Amino acid sequence: MTTTTESPKRVKITMSDRRPLTIVENEWPLVASAEQHDGAVECQANHVWAIRVRQNAIGTRIVYGWLREGRGGSHAGWRGAEGGFLVAALGGGEADEDETVRAIRRVGGIIEDSKMADECIADLPAETIGSES
Domain count, the chain: 1
Residue 100 lies in a domain: yes
Residue 99 lies in a domain: yes
* Beta-bridge mates of residue 51: 34, 65
Contact 33, 13 (CB under 8 A): no
Residue 77 lies in a domain: yes
Mind listing the pLDDT tens digit for each residue in 15-49? Answer: 999 999 999 999 999 999 999 888 777 777 778 89
121 versus 80: the higher-pLDDT residue is 121
Residue 118 lies in a domain: yes
| Claim: this prediction has a pTM higher than 0.85 | yes
The stretch 85-95 carries a mean pLDDT of: 92
**Domain membership of residue 107 as a residue range:** 30-122
**What value, to the nearest 5°, has the Cα angle with vertex 22 and ends 87 and 3?**
130
Residue 133 has pLDDT above 90, yes or no: no
Separation of alpha carbons 123 and 54, rounded Å: 12
Residue 10 lies in a domain: no
